[in-house]
């Protein structure tokens, strides 16, 4: 028996491929919406993607069949035609459901199963559609080419799904649509190559069969509907995507701006859970202030350290610039101001607490220095007045004792008078020290070369006074400037500092004397307000003694304040040092911690170069 000759109409072939590709583009666009949604909306998008894909496969199949010319009239059985459409839609629905799944990127097994379902669906639709043909001929299939058509459909379906899942750009979607469209068309034309028709005379048409012309009109309408769906779906999808991308970009920029503001704020910011105090967010300034990593476990570390900040964060009560004292892990004590605002949740309960931390340690220390200076100033004025009055009384007593010594020869009276005169002299020494603290003692300032003076004082006066158990070291900066000061009073000040250091080191130790230039631009900020503009020399005396507590350090320069036993000190040594430095145009500074020794620094003004050539200076009284 001979086979019928067949041919394809080129225009309809191209049209069938275009329908397949456009339908695939629509399907992949709708598939992206399946992945982006959940619940009932996800099912609607899944149904739309399956219908679009199944409809495009079915439309492409029958347009391609119209392009297939055997020279015989062809009609189509209604039920099998409808079944072929439902098979295409059902198979693609199963494939898309498997590929979408609940994971962002499904595994290879799920993709393979989805590709198998879609490929077999395309094959079933094709061969069921072939079975719906009614013509005076019988189809004969080549099994090898039938298998090849199924392989083409499954492989191209897998490629399309991989491209649709891995990429979201328009070129990738177009490539995926082209691959899927070619899969549909390739499977169809491979399947048509697998069939040959043998004539069977006398096969009549039945009433439940569709004429080819009517089917052509239906296919054309379905194609127009498919193109419309493709256009609408693409427009809606692109608009949704643009809006989503625009909102995501705006959100990203807003978050970046907020993060940048938080990272650059000169104030520490904390966000914590009210009740638990667990820290959810902290900016770098807060971590710098507290000198610790502020994560969820930081509240426990603050609790163990007994930090009042932990209780404030846990309570979540509103606070406005509440003063707090924080001890850092390195032992430094900071003065902070805490402001806290509770953030209520949806039910009106305090869910979060927003706290700000401001490091005011420098301001508090400056206020303490100012109060101390004001207190010392007031004490100096009082001390100066008392010292003058007491000195006048001593002058009267001294004059009467001198007259008594001249007018009596009684040895017992002379012995009493000399004893009283010695007491008057000791009282005069105390008066001089008080006047030094009050800056009312006469000084004779002159340029003093510390580079030459300090080694002489250390090896002579201090070595004899301190004994052999204390090692005295000197360090002088090369090119050290001369200072403008009273040399004798400077020696007395160094002796008073050394005696205090000796008493703080009963078992012996080390006393270091150092001198360095301090240009005006390099002076510590806290000292500039109390000093005249100009260059200074920093004379520093450091011991390895017991050190002082904060309470003792705050009162160390006060006259008559001492921590020594009765009879071991007058409490006027450091007050004389402070008064001498201030009257010389400089200042004195104490730094000490218990167990870490004490450092006394005298800031003395630099002597002008012309001072050495000027006439001898007179006395200077503040």
Name the nearest CA neighbour of 543 among 579, 483, 590: 590
Q: Tell me: pLDDT of 474 over 60.
A: yes
Half-sphere exposure of 472 (CA within 13 A, CB side): 23
* Residue carrying the six token digits 């041919």: 7
pTM: 0.41
Considering only the C-alpha atoms of the chain, give the largest distance between any 2 of them, rounded to a whole number of Å: 177
Distance CA 355, CA 45 (A): 46
Residue 311 tokens, joined: 């209780």
Q: What is the pLDDT of residues 165-180, one digit of tens each?
A: 665 566 766 777 777 7
Q: What residues contact residue 73 under an 8 Å CB cut-off, 6+ apart?
A: 135, 205, 212
Specify the CATH architecture of the domain 364-437. Answer: Orthogonal Bundle (1.10)
The per-residue pLDDT of the chain, averaged, comes to 76
Q: Tell me: pLDDT of 43 over 90.
A: no
**Where are the domains positioned within the chain?**
7-243, 268-359, 364-437, 446-613
Looking at residues 55-62, what average pLDDT do you find?
A: 78
Sheet of 536-543, strands arranged across: 470-476, 509-518, 536-543, 598-605, 587-592
Specify the CATH architecture of the domain 446-613. Answer: 2-Layer Sandwich (3.30)
Class of domain 268-359: alpha beta
Number of Cβ atoms within 10 Å of the Cβ of 172 = 14
Q: What is the pLDDT of residues 385-443, one digit of tens each?
A: 566 666 667 777 777 777 777 777 777 777 777 788 777 777 776 666 655 555 555 67
The pLDDT of residue 195 is: 80
Q: Tell me: pLDDT of 111 over 60.
A: yes
């Amino acid at each position: 028996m001979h086979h019928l000759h067949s041919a394809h109409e080129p225009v309809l072939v191209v049209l069938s491929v275009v329908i397949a590709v456009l339908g695939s583009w629509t399907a992949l666009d709708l598939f992206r919406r399946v992945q982006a949604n959940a619940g009932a909306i996800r099912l609607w998008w899944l149904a739309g993607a399956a219908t679009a894909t199944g409809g495009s496969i079915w439309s492409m199949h029958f347009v391609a069949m119209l392009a297939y010319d055997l020279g015989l009239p062809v009609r189509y059985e209604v039920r099998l035609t409808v079944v072929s459409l439902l098979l295409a839609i059902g198979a693609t629905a199963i494939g898309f459901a498997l590929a979408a799944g609940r994971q962002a990127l499904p595994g290879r097994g799920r993709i393979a199963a989805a590709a198998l379902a879609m490929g077999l669906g395309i094959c079933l639709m094709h061969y069921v559609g072939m079975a719906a043909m009614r013509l005076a001929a019988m189809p004969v299939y080549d099994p090898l080419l039938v298998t090849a058509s199924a392989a083409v459909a499954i492989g191209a379906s897998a490629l399309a799904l991989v491209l649709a899942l891995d990429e979201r750009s328009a070129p990738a979607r177009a490539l995926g649509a082209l691959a899927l469209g070619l899969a549909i068309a390739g499977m169809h034309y491979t399947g048509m190559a697998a069939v040959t028709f043998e004539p069977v005379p006398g096969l009549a048409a039945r009433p439940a069969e569709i004429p080819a012309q009517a089917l052509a009109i239906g296919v054309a309408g379905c194609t127009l509907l498919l193109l419309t769906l493709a256009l609408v779906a693409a427009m809606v999808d692109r608009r949704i995507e643009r809006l989503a991308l625009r909102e995501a970009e705006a959100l990203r920029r807003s978050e970046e701006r907020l993060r940048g503001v938080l990272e650059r704020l000169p104030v520490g910011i904390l966000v914590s859970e009210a009740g638990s105090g667990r820290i959810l967010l902290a900016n770098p300034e807060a971590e710098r202030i507290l000198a610790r990593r502020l994560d969820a476990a930081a509240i426990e570390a603050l609790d163990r350290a007994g930090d009042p900040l932990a209780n404030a964060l846990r309570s979540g009560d509103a606070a406005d610039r509440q003063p707090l004292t924080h001890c850092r892990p390195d032992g430094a004590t900071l003065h902070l101001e805490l402001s806290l605002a509770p953030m209520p949740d949806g039910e009106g309960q305090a869910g979060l607490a927003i706290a700000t931390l401001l490091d005011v340690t420098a301001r508090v220390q400056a206020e303490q220095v100012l109060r101390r200076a004001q207190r010392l100033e007031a004490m100096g004025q009082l001390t100066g007045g008392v010292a003058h009055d007491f000195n006048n009384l001593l002058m009267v007593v001294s004059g009467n004792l001198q007259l008594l010594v001249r007018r009596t020869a009684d040895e017992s009276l002379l012995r009493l008078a000399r004893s009283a005169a010695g007491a008057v002299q000791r009282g005069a020494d105390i008066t001089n020290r008080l006047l030094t603290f009050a800056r009312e003692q006469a000084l004779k300032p002159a340029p003093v070369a510390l580079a030459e003076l300090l080694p002489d004082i250390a090896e002579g006066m201090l070595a004899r006074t301190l004994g052999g158990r204390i090692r005295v070291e000197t360090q002088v900066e090369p090119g050290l400037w001369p200072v403008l000061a009273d040399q004798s009073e400077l020696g007395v000040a160094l002796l008073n500092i050394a005696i205090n250091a000796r008493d703080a080191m009963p078992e012996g130790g080390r006393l270091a004397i150092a001198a360095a230039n301090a240009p005006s631009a390099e002076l510590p900020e806290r000292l500039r307000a109390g000093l005249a503009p100009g260059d200074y020399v920093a004379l520093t005396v450091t011991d390895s003694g017991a050190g002082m507590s904060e309470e003792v350090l705050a009162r160390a320069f006060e006259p008559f304040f001492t921590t020594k036993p009765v009879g071991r000190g007058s409490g006027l040594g450091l007050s004389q040092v402070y008064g001498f430095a201030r009257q010389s145009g400089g200042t004195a500074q104490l730094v000490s911690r218990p167990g870490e020794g004490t450092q006394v620094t005298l800031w003395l003004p630099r002597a002008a170069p012309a001072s050495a050539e000027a006439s001898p200076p007179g006395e200077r009284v503040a």
